[in-house]
Amino acid sequence: MFIDGRFRDAESGETFQSINPATGEAIGTVAKAGAEDAARAIDAARAAFDDHRWSGRRGSDRGRVLAAIAKGIKERAPELTELESRDSGATLAKAKADVGGAGFWFRVMGEYAARLDDPEPLPQTIAPGPSYNYVKRDPVGVCTAIIPWNFPLQMASWKLSMALAAGNSVVLKPAEETPCSATVLAEIIRDAGVPQGVCNVIQGPGPVTGEELITNPSVDKVAFTGSTEVGKHIMKLAANTVKKTTLELGGKCPQIVLDDADPELAVDGAIYGAFFHQGQVCTAGSRLLVPDAIHDEFVGRLLERVATMRVGLPTEKGTTTGPVVSQKQLDTVLNYIEIGQKEGATLAAGGQRVTDGELENGFFVAPTVFTDVTADMTIAQEEIFGPVVTVLRYSDDEDAVRIANGTVYGLAAGVWGSPARAMKLADRLQAGTVWINEYHLLNPHYPFGGYKQSGIGREHGYLGLLEYTEAKHVHLGVDNRRSTKRWFDGTIPQPR
């Protein structure tokens, strides 16, 4: 773990192993933080914030340091790519893209940081008196960031780049399943010139370290990405001290195929939306809505294309489907597949663990397609977080919108079809992001977050950066004659 500018062991001396999900073998040993380690990291962040060693710098100065972090990530990209693949089970292509994205986020947030230097002027009025008004953006203080295992380096970069750009101090806790790349990122951040204590990284179990990061009174903001269930728990804990929270939670995202969609584009796009990174993506388009008019033809094309997908080691060229992250996640996915069959859905493809040859000890699931799915089935309502897509029929656009909006989630959605018609549907979808003839495209300039139980607040873009600030309104009276301060008169009579 990295606390107050240096790497150290856990106070208890305990460690745990990171497991390669493709082989079941340990790839590294990591210090196992306890509550006392989390408290120590928070204390370091608090001291760093309160003496203004980082928060007191101009945003443009912080931006230059974030640019240096981006450069450091690029220089260590081969190392990070291999580590990310072994730690999370990502294919090398996906891991390489994640590393590139991590640097991109730091660079863009560094550019946005300079915008915080200048106050935002407000409309000037003469009532209740002549004045000049503006909003100044201050850093929140000590932020804690708790991230999941599906995009370990990129999620860390999302949270840290925004927190640091705004001038905060931060403690990051990566998921237990994927602890490794955050250690390298801490080195890069240190070497780029972020002062001691400003950025801290601890690895440990959520019920112990995570709760300390949420309940400690020295913490001002909690940023979390993960399941809706855990997000609700975090909200309850954070409420005791009225902490600011940003929560990016679960999704059960629909992909609507219109009858005027390009068939080949829609099929391949739907597969990418559903099966990218084995479906272990909060925005996975795991509900595929297909109109009655083209249903059979579309499903036939879909199954033909899914049959060409290759399950294999993520380090092998040509692999399209790697492992899920852990034995626990494997069991979860297989359980949902069993539930789908029991509820009457048709298992049209996949559905089984893959253990052929060198995959024997890994956590591999064949890409799975369910047809004859109704909107009330468990597999159409609950987030599975695995390589499973459900195909649902709809009769017309009105029916498609009803089905698409018919879950507790509202993170993202996709529409495949003519732009004009798709844009009309997009206006009616309850989702924080709607892709039209695209999917899974995120960018540090574009705000990201969910409706309903998919979260609170936004990440990315200038809107996301502002989530890591406090807005301070300053009112400057420009006429200082006592005779003009008439609003005093109801309490203090004017002097005679």
The catalytic residue among 248, 383, 459, 467 is 248
| Distance from the Cα of residue 239 to its chain's centroid | 22
Which residue ranges form the domains of the chain, and what is each CATH number? 2-249+454-474 (3.40.605.10), 254-436 (3.40.309.10)
Is there a contact between 2 and 189 (Cβ–Cβ < 8 Å)?
A: no
The Cα–Cα gap between 117 and 214 comes to 29
Position 43 scores a pLDDT of: 99
Is there a contact between 282 and 248 (Cβ–Cβ < 8 Å)?
A: yes
Segment holding 410, helix H or strand E: strand 409-410
Q: Which strands sit side by side in the sheet containing 254-257, from one edge to the other?
A: 346-349, 368-371, 388-394, 287-291, 254-257, 412-416, 433-436
- In tens digits, what is the pLDDT along the chain, a chain of 496 residues? 999 999 999 999 999 999 999 999 999 999 999 999 999 999 999 999 999 999 999 999 999 999 999 999 999 999 999 999 999 999 999 999 999 999 999 999 999 999 999 999 999 877 777 889 999 999 999 999 999 999 999 999 999 999 999 999 999 999 999 999 999 999 999 999 999 999 999 999 989 999 999 999 999 999 999 999 999 999 999 999 999 999 999 999 999 999 999 999 999 999 999 999 999 999 999 999 999 999 999 999 999 999 999 999 999 999 999 999 999 999 999 999 999 999 999 999 999 999 999 999 999 999 999 999 999 999 999 999 999 999 999 999 999 999 999 999 999 999 999 999 999 999 999 999 999 999 999 999 999 999 999 999 999 999 999 999 999 999 998 888 877 777 777 787 766 6
Q: Is 338 a catalytic residue?
A: no
Task: Output the pTM of the full model.
Answer: 0.95
Helices and strands counted in the chain (H then E)? 15, 24
Segment holding 142, helix H or strand E: strand 142-146
Specify the DSSP class assigned to residue 446: S
Name 257's Cβ contacts closer than 8 Å, sequence gap at least 6. 266, 270, 288, 289, 290, 291, 294, 298, 416, 417
Per-residue 3-state assignment (H helix, E strand, C coil) for 195-263: CCCCEEECCCCHHHHHHHHHHCCCCCEEEEECCHHHHHHHHHHHHCCCCEEEEECCCCCEEEECCCCCH
The catalytic residue among 143, 180, 253, 282 is 282
Q: Which residues pair with 6 in a beta bridge?
A: 3
Q: Is 120 a catalytic residue?
A: no
Under DSSP, is residue 371 helix (H, G, I), strand (E, B) or coil? strand
Position 496 scores a pLDDT of: 66
Report CA-CA distances (Å) from 256 to 84, 236, 293, 416. Answer: 32, 35, 14, 6
